[in-house]
Chains A and B, each alone.
Chain A
Amino acid sequence: MSTEQASRSWTGWIRQRAVRALPPEKLLPDRQPAYVASWIYVFGVATIAALIVIVASGVILGLKGPAWWHVSSVGRFFNSVHLWAVEVFFFVMVVHLWGKFFMGAWRGGRSRTWVTGAVIFLVAIGTAFTGYLSQQNFDSQWIASEGKDGLNAVGVGAYFNVADFGQMYTFHIFLLPAVVVALVVWHVLLVRRHGVVPPYPARRREAAPATDQGARSK
């Protein structure tokens, strides 16, 4: 099929646009700029690693159910793995957020990368909140009784009933994780497309010798 014919079909049109926006060498690069060799650039992928553990342990918990995660020792272990993976997820995500904030990660046409990251952070808070509500213990009842007043005060209590386990569980194990994962995929594709944000340029010193400048730019 010629290029002209391919562009007439919707699949060909999507493929051409996708390859133009994100060519294979950008989608799966084998080299990164030298400035990426810093620990501060590690926290994004650390967040994704924690997310993988969260999803994997969450799938096991969801398949086995509350009676298992409360009663059996293996169930309690996976419950703890899920909880502590969430703790690690938020810990490294906040360090990632600080790093990107202080290096102005929205520069160079990367505003959508920044905004998707910020939205992931907010949706993840909602996902964690519905997770605490899905524990099926006194802790979740306490959090629900505290949270319902706030949600009623902002007028969403009729649609988001924190005392309804089924509703909160659906939000926690399906709707919000799907949004988080979709946004993470979009976020990573945007990073691939626009590249990792470089650090701010070093301030140029007046009358500095040329050899010094060369050494600093490395």
Chain B
Amino acid sequence: MPGFASLIDLNSPAHYVHWHFFQMSVANILVIALMILVFIAAILLPFPGRGRES
């Protein structure tokens, strides 16, 4: 998929965030951020059918 390949270049070295002792690839930071978002959404979003319980 050329469009997707140009969006995320998987053939070049990964980008890193480096701040004092902290060093992590941008890809890993994004995955962790996404996990946190999904975790928060799982707590806040209503579950289908919950209102129908007696």
Chain A interface residues (CB < 8 Å from chain B):
34, 37-40, 42-43, 91, 94-95, 98-99, 218
A-B contact pairs, 16 of them (CB 8 A): A34-B53, A37-B49, A37-B50, A38-B43, A38-B50, A39-B47, A40-B42, A40-B43, A43-B42, A91-B34, A91-B35, A91-B38, A94-B35, A95-B38, A95-B39, A95-B42
Proximity bits, B34-46, A CB within 8 Å = 1, else 0: 1100110111010
A99 touches B39 (CB 8 A): yes
Given A95-B42, A99-B42, verify A37-B47 contact (CB < 8 Å): yes
In the bound complex, do residue B45 and residue A39 qualify as a contact, i.e. CB atoms below 8 Å apart?
A: yes
* Cβ-closest chain B residue relative to A43: B42
Which residues of chain A are near B35, meaning CB under 8 Å? Answer: 91, 94-95, 98
Chain B contacts of A94 at CB under 8 A?
35
Chain B binding surface SS class: helix
B contact residues around A95 at 8 Å (CB): 35, 38-39, 42
Q: Size band of the B side of the interface?
A: 10 to 19
Q: Total contacts A to B, CB within 8 angstroms?
A: 33
Q: Which B positions have Cβ atoms within 8 angstroms of A?
A: 31, 34-35, 38-39, 41-43, 45, 47, 49-50, 53
Given A42-B42, A95-B39: 15 more A-B contacts, CB < 8 Å:
A37-B47, A37-B53, A38-B43, A38-B47, A39-B41, A39-B45, A40-B42, A40-B43, A43-B42, A91-B34, A95-B38, A98-B35, A98-B39, A99-B39, A99-B42
Most chain A CB inside 10 Å of its own CB: which residue of B39, B47, B49, B50? B39
In the complex, the chain B residue whose C-beta lies closest to that of A42 is B42
| Docked pose: A43 CA to B43 CA in angstroms | 12
Instruction: For A34, give the chain B residue with the smallest CB separation.
Output: B53
Q: Is the CB of B42 within 8 A of A38?
A: yes
Enumerate chain B residues within 8 angstroms of A43, measured Cβ to Cβ: 42
Which residues of A lie under 8 Å from residue B31 when comparing CB positions? 91
